[in-house]
Chain A
Amino acid sequence: MTHDTHRFPRRPLQALALAVCLALPALRAQDTIKVGEYASLTGKEASFGQSSHKGITMAFEQINAAGGVLGRKVELITEDDQTVPGQSATAAKKLIAREKVIALLGEVSSGRSLEAAPIAQANRVPMIAPAATNPKVTQVGSYIFRVCFIDPFQGTVMAKFAGGELKAHRVAVISSVSNAYSVGLAKYFREKFTADGGVIPVEQKYSEGDKDFRAQLTAVRAAGCDAVFVPGYYTEAALIVRQARELGITVPFLGGDGWVSDELLQIAGDSLNGCFYSTHFAAENNSDSVRRFVADYKARWEGETPDAFAALGYDAAGVLVDAIRRAGTTDGPRLRDALAATTHFNGATGDTTIDSNRDASKPATIIAIRDGKLAFLETVAP
């Protein structure tokens, strides 16, 4: 009895709370355009996901502050895939089925984008990958786009750079056994570099999660080379370069956009001097659009300097909103057509045009590391 009298007065409140909870999503669904994002906000590659998330968030905030698109605000719904294989597929399913998003933004990794892409394709929800550079990603289907260049281009650019600017004749390659990004970059580098008359004296592999690369590096040292191409992520690349210097290997190391992270310099420190990597964006670039983006980003995120993934996330969101505006609707097939027709979108990472393979055709930036700092070297047009 005491129980009942105690609980009774709470009931109207509970009912009210329930009513509000039920009514709120219904109200919001009419008002906003829901866009889903899946990103590695935690886990091994958390720094990538955090950056792209900040870029996307800022883009939508700016668009909403300017009145939104089609008279509606854009609402971003984010799922964390924890850098765990399989999680991005779950996240994509949840965003499409439960949240009914009109488009998906994600991921920075090719492997995780490939997991989510078939789901987006099957549901006819356009997906834009900010930084998945493996060619296979957009080959999944007609609804899958990206705003970055692809591995053949990045591998080719570094092969050209090694043979041209660096005048390297023998370049060793150390790549991952299983990671699609790393394997892809190594393949296109090898094809271009050997086609231009270069020699790859030795090609070594490592497994994801390895921390000791002295065995591979000792083999590289024994083979002798003018440079080493390490198309992996910063976690491995930083340790590889550091251990290489300990073993007395002094030649430059070359990498791709997987090297982009503050932790790269923190872990490897001075070992990285004289190394180069290709990327999508350099905050040190002096063009107008880059300067404006960097200033806005610093103001929004407590003085943090944006990296390539932040810029690509920003552009992915920008390209999507641009397409919604041109399509005049958020209906899947028509939005898809508008995305495919994107030409000369001028974003933070330069002039972006979506080609017939739904890949972005745009310039690459080469960064040099000198005295423990990053320096903008040059951009290479497609």
Chain B
Amino acid sequence: MSEFLQQLINGLSLGAIYALIALGYTMVYGVLRFINFAHSDVFMVGAFIGYYVGKHLPHGTVWGGLLTMAAAMAGCAVLGMLIERLVYRPLRGGPTLNVLITAIGMSLFLEYAGQLGFGATPRAFPAVFPTKVIEYHGLIVSMNQVIVIGVAAALMVGLEFTVFRTKIGTAMRAVALNPGAAQLVGINIDVVISFTFGLGSALAGAGGVLYAVNYPSIDPLMGVVPGMKAFVAAVLGGIGNIPGAALGALILGMVETFVDGSRWSTYKDAIAFTILIAILLFRPAGLLGRMTSEKV
């Protein structure tokens, strides 16, 4: 029983990390109907910003950790807006396939530029947050896991609030619905899309730091695997849907953890993805997604 509960906690913390990355994918898709494959590499850049900033801050304090995270979020927001301005905007209005391929190119560019700039060797991430372990009747939760789950939940609520309760959020939804009509009623599309990329990339930056705090070995290719898992989680939950991304990420984290902890750990990815395929067979739009027919 205690093993089951412990695995539940492990799965929750893994799922929370996938959720943080999945949110960025799903939000950009929700507004632009475009999958930003470079998202997982912005996540990596966030971890490296955290690495360079965190080295100069006192270790093991909450405010030091939050400051590191804020720096990574700001840096990634700027990077995300730059990528959108320089790479994606010139292609807007073109065939979606072109943008998709450009996004893959951008992703590879960041990965290999990272190997040149940061070096390819894995590095130890400084312990910026307090590293306490909380024990309760044989159940063990590390402070990092608590922080990851807490921050993921807070960011998710904040995002939901921004999208549904603020003026810029209304503008985002208007652009998502019909960019032409949004422009007609006086919304500056460029600003809204820029903001969307900035917000999504800031989430990736926060995710990068939290991921690195939990698994303190960072390298320029660290975004690839979690990025793929988070993308799958976003699709599973219904891409474009914010609570859906969180739900999909939690399910994926739980399934992976329970298979990993069982005798069948060899087949982890096979089993996890079989379940995902099964869910998508019955709900093609994802768990919380709505089927929409293409506009003609």
Interface residues of A (CB under 8 A from B): 42-44, 46-47, 82-83, 177, 204-207, 209-216, 218-219, 221-222, 235, 238-239, 242, 246-248, 263, 266-267
- Cβ-closest chain B residue relative to A266: B124
Per-position 1/0 for B108-130, Cβ under 8 A of A: 00000001000111111000000
Contact A211 B6, beta carbon cutoff 8 Å: no
Interchain nearest-CB distance for B17 vs A (Å): 8
Contact A267 B261, beta carbon cutoff 8 Å: no
B10 part of interface (Cβ distance < 8 Å): yes
A-B contacts, 27 listed (Cβ < 8 Å)? A42-B120, A43-B120, A44-B120, A44-B122, A82-B120, A177-B265, A177-B268, A205-B266, A206-B260, A209-B224, A211-B211, A211-B226, A212-B10, A212-B215, A214-B14, A215-B265, A216-B265, A218-B7, A219-B261, A219-B265, A238-B217, A239-B216, A246-B133, A247-B140, A248-B135, A263-B124, A267-B124
B256 part of interface (Cβ distance < 8 Å): yes
Interchain nearest-CB distance for B51 vs A (Å): 12
A351 to B124, CA, bound (A): 36
B29 part of interface (Cβ distance < 8 Å): no
Interchain nearest-CB distance for A363 vs B (Å): 29
Contact B219 A215, beta carbon cutoff 8 Å: no
B170 part of interface (Cβ distance < 8 Å): no
Of A209, A215, A246, most buried by chain B (CB within 10 Å of CB) is: A215
List B237-280 residues whose CB lies under 8 Å from chain A: 256-262, 265-266, 268-269
Contact A44 B261, beta carbon cutoff 8 Å: no
Per-position 1/0 for B1-21, Cβ under 8 A of A: 011001100110110000000
Q: Which residues of A sit under 8 angstroms from B120, Cβ to Cβ?
A: 42-44, 46, 82-83
Interchain nearest-CB distance for B146 vs A (Å): 12
Q: Which residues of B sit under 8 angstroms from A242, Cβ to Cβ?
A: 216
B221 part of interface (Cβ distance < 8 Å): yes
A46 to B216, CA, bound (A): 18
Q: Which residues of A sit under 8 angstroms from B217, Cβ to Cβ?
A: 211, 235, 238-239, 263, 267
Of A214, A246, A248, most buried by chain B (CB within 10 Å of CB) is: A214
A222 to B119, CA, bound (A): 39
Q: Which residues of B sit under 8 angstroms from A218, Cβ to Cβ?
A: 3, 6-7, 10, 261
Q: Which residues of B sit under 8 angstroms from A263, Cβ to Cβ?
A: 121-124, 217
Contact B261 A212, beta carbon cutoff 8 Å: no
Q: Which residues of B sit under 8 angstroms from A266, Cβ to Cβ?
A: 123-124
A238 to B217, CA, bound (A): 9
Contact B124 A219, beta carbon cutoff 8 Å: no
Count class of interface residues, chain B: 35 or more
B96 part of interface (Cβ distance < 8 Å): no
Interface residues of B (CB under 8 A from A): 2-3, 6-7, 10-11, 13-14, 115, 119-124, 133, 135, 140, 142, 211, 214-217, 219, 221-222, 224-226, 256-262, 265-266, 268-269
- Cβ-closest chain A residue relative to B257: A215
A248 to B136, CA, bound (A): 12
Contact A222 B10, beta carbon cutoff 8 Å: no
Contact A177 B266, beta carbon cutoff 8 Å: yes
Q: Which residues of B sit under 8 angstroms from A215, Cβ to Cβ?
A: 7, 10-11, 256-261, 265
Q: Which residues of A sit under 8 angstroms from B256, Cβ to Cβ?
A: 215
A246 to B140, CA, bound (A): 8
A108 to B278, CA, bound (A): 41
Contact A44 B221, beta carbon cutoff 8 Å: yes
Q: Which residues of B sit under 8 angstroms from A46, Cβ to Cβ?
A: 119-121
Interchain nearest-CB distance for B203 vs A (Å): 19
Q: Which residues of B sit under 8 angstroms from A238, Cβ to Cβ?
A: 217
Q: Which residues of A sit under 8 angstroms from B260, Cβ to Cβ?
A: 204, 206, 213, 215-216, 219
- Cβ-closest chain A residue relative to B226: A211
Q: Which residues of A sit under 8 angstroms from B221, Cβ to Cβ?
A: 43-44
A239 to B259, CA, bound (A): 19
Q: Which residues of A sit under 8 angstroms from B214, Cβ to Cβ?
A: 211-212
Partner of A267, one of B216, B226, B258: B216
A267 to B226, CA, bound (A): 20
A227 to B47, CA, bound (A): 33
A259 to B225, CA, bound (A): 22
